[in-house]
Amino acid sequence: MAKKKTKKKEATPKSTTKKSSPEPKNEQDGFSPAQFLQGTREEFSKVVWPSQQQLISESAAVMLMVILVATTIYFVDNLFSWIAGMVF
């Protein structure tokens, strides 16, 4: 019987991209309010702001959940207080 020759696949190194940390443009100046405000404005332009309807509906959902959890904790606390009063 003839044996099949198989080629071994050599592992190819993945290309690594080195991310450079953001460095101040001029280290001698230190903090620059103008550069800070410019960077802040650039970051705010990247934000995806919710629509008014989405903001209202999600705020209502959060408020409803907070009320539901607070009410549950209130009733459980009263239950445990009543049980403790019966025991002691």
pLDDT at residue 30 in the model: 84
**Domain encompassing residue 87:** 51-88
pLDDT at residue 59 in the model: 97
Cα 73 from Cα 82, distance rounded (Å): 14
What is the value of pTM for the model shown? 0.50
- Kindly tell me if the per-residue pLDDT of 18 is higher than 80: no
Q: What is the DSSP string of 20-82?
A: PPP--S-TTT---HHHHHHHHHHHHHH--PPPHHHHHHHHHHHHHHHHHHHHHHHHHHHHHHH
| Per-residue pLDDT tens digits for 27-59 | 556 889 999 999 999 999 999 999 999 999 999
Report how many domains make up the chain. Answer: 1
Q: How far apart are the first and last CA of the chain?
A: 89
Flag whether 32 is in a domain. no
Flag whether 77 is in a domain. yes
Task: Assess contact for 68 and 60: CB atoms under 8 A.
Answer: no
